[in-house]
C-alpha cells in the first residue's frame, strides 16, 4: 500500500476563548501540535472558532435596531476578529510549517479589502508549508447571523491537493447548498470538510448524506460552547454567561466514509481531538458506480457557472 494512499486527519472539537482572538489562536496551535504529534496530515476546526460564534444574538435581543448594547458588543467582536493582512494568522502558519500539517480553520474575518470593518464568516485553508491557500467567505449567513456577518463571495470555492486526496470545505449551512457542493465536486473534491458552530442535529443526518452523494469522505468538525465560556468578557454579555442552557453548542463532530458509514460517530458534549485514517482506494471503489461530476454527470444537459472573483465595491484605474 502506497504511503500516499492513506492520510491521518484530526477533528479538533474545542470551545473558543470567547471574544479573545489571541488566546483562542494559542489554543488552536496547541491542538495543531497535538495532532501533529499523533502523525496527522490535516487538522480541522469549527466555524467561527476565532474569536467565537455570535451566540449573543439569540439571547440579548440582537435584532433591536440602533441599540447601544448591540453596538458595543459588535464593536468588541469586530476588534477581536481576524485581519489576515495584519498578520493575525502568522503564528498559526508558522506552526503549520514547523509541524508539516495542513489546517482548516473557521474564523471571523475583518478584511481590509471590504473597508476593514465589516465581518465575514470565513474558512481558511493553510497548507503544510504554512501558506494560506484559500479564504472562503460564507456565501449566505444563516438567519440571525446576518445581524453580525456580511454575505461573502465565490472566491474561496477552491480545492487543494493533500497526498492522494483533493480537499475542500464549506461553512455550516452552505453544506446544504447543492450548487456550492457541486462547485467543489467539479474540482475533484473527494475529502470534504464541513465546519459547524456545534450541534448534533446539524451533523448526524447531513454528514452521511453528503458522503453518499459525493462518494467522498466527509469531516464534520464542530465547536463547543458552555455558558461559562462567556464569562469574563464584557458586561453586555452577562446574559450569555448566565444562560440556563447547559450547552450553547454541544459539538457533534464526526467523519463519514464514502459509502455513508461512520468512521467516527458524532462526539457530543466534550472537547477533544478525534483522529482517523482515510484510505483513498475507498473513494475510488464508491466512484465505480457513481461519480457526481464525472461519468454520472451530463454537462451537455446541465452546467454550473461559478464566479470566483473577489467582490469589491470599487475598481480603481490609475
**pLDDT per position as a tens digit, 125-172:** 999 999 999 999 999 999 999 999 999 999 999 999 999 999 999 999
Residue of 40, 93, 121, 172 with catalytic role? 172
Within a domain: 315: no
Within a domain: 297: no
Known active-site residue 222 = no
Between CA 279 and CA 2 the distance in angstroms is: 10
- What is the reported pLDDT for 232? 86
Q: Cα-flanking dihedrals φ and ψ of residue 287, to 5°?
A: -75, -10
Within a domain: 71: yes
Instruction: Report how many domains make up the chain.
Output: 1
- What is the reported pLDDT for 244? 87
- What is the reported pLDDT for 4? 82
**Residue 295, number of CB atoms within 10 A of its CB:** 10
Q: What's 166's domain CATH number? A: 3.60.110.10
Known active-site residue 98 = no
Residue of 47, 174, 189, 286 with catalytic role? 47
Known active-site residue 195 = no
Residue of 27, 40, 93, 138 with catalytic role? 138
Within a domain: 306: no
Between CA 287 and CA 80 the distance in angstroms is: 43
- What is the reported pLDDT for 247? 95
Low-confidence ranges of the chain (pLDDT < 70): 1-3
Distance set, CA 111 to CA 84, 121, 135, 171, 307 (Å):
7, 11, 11, 18, 20
Between CA 253 and CA 242 the distance in angstroms is: 26
State the residue range of the domain holding 225: 3-287
Within a domain: 150: yes
pTM over 0.85: yes
Between CA 281 and CA 289 the distance in angstroms is: 14
Within a domain: 279: yes
Within a domain: 68: yes
Between CA 120 and CA 124 the distance in angstroms is: 12
Within a domain: 314: no
Amino acid at each position: 500500500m502506497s504511503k500516499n494512499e492513506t492520510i491521518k486527519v484530526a477533528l479538533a472539537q474545542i470551545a473558543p476563548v470567547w471574544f479573545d482572538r489571541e488566546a483562542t489562536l494559542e489554543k488552536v496551535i496547541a491542538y495543531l501540535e497535538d495532532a501533529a504529534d499523533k502523525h496527522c496530515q490535516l487538522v480541522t476546526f469549527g466555524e467561527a472558532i476565532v474569536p467565537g460564534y455570535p451566540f449573543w444574538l439569540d439571547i440579548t435581543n440582537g435584532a433591536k435596531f440602533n441599540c447601544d448594547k448591540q453596538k458595543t458588543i459588535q464593536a468588541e467582536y469586530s476588534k477581536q476578529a481576524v485581519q489576515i493582512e495584519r498578520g493575525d494568522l502568522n503564528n498559526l502558519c508558522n506552526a503549520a510549517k514547523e509541524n508539516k500539517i495542513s489546517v482548516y480553520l473557521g474564523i471571523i474575518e475583518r478584511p481590509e479589502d471590504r473597508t476593514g470593518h465589516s465581518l465575514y464568516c470565513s474558512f481558511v485553508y493553510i497548507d503544510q508549508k504554512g501558506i494560506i491557500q484559500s479564504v472562503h467567505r460564507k456565501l449566505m449567513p444563516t438567519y440571525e447571523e446576518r445581524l453580525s456577518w456580511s454575505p461573502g463571495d465565490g472566491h474561496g470555492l477552491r480545492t487543494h491537493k493533500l497526498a492522494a486526496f483533493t480537499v475542500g470545505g464549506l461553512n455550516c449551512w452552505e453544506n446544504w447548498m447543492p450548487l456550492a457542493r457541486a462547485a467543489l465536486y467539479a474540482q475533484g473534491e473527494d475529502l470534504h470538510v464541513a465546519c459547524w458552530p456545534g450541534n448534533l442535529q446539524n451533523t448526524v443526518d447531513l454528514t452521511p448524506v453528503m458522503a453518499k452523494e459525493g462518494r467522498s469522505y466527509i469531516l464534520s468538525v464542530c465547536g463547543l460552547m458552555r455558558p461559562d465560556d462567556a464569562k469574563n468578557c464584557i458586561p453586555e454579555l452577562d446574559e450569555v454567561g448566565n444562560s440556563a442552557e447547559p450547552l450553547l453548542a454541544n459539538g457533534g463532530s464526526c467523519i463519514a466514509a464514502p459509502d455513508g458509514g461512520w468512521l467516527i460517530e458524532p462526539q457530543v458534549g466534550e472537547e477533544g481531538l478525534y483522529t482517523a485514517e482515510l484510505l483513498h482506494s475507498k473513494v475510488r471503489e464508491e466512484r465505480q458506480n457513481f461519480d457526481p461530476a464525472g461519468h454520472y454527470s451530463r454537462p451537455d444537459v446541465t452546467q454550473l457557472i461559478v464566479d470566483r472573483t473577489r467582490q469589491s465595491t470599487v475598481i480603481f484605474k490609475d
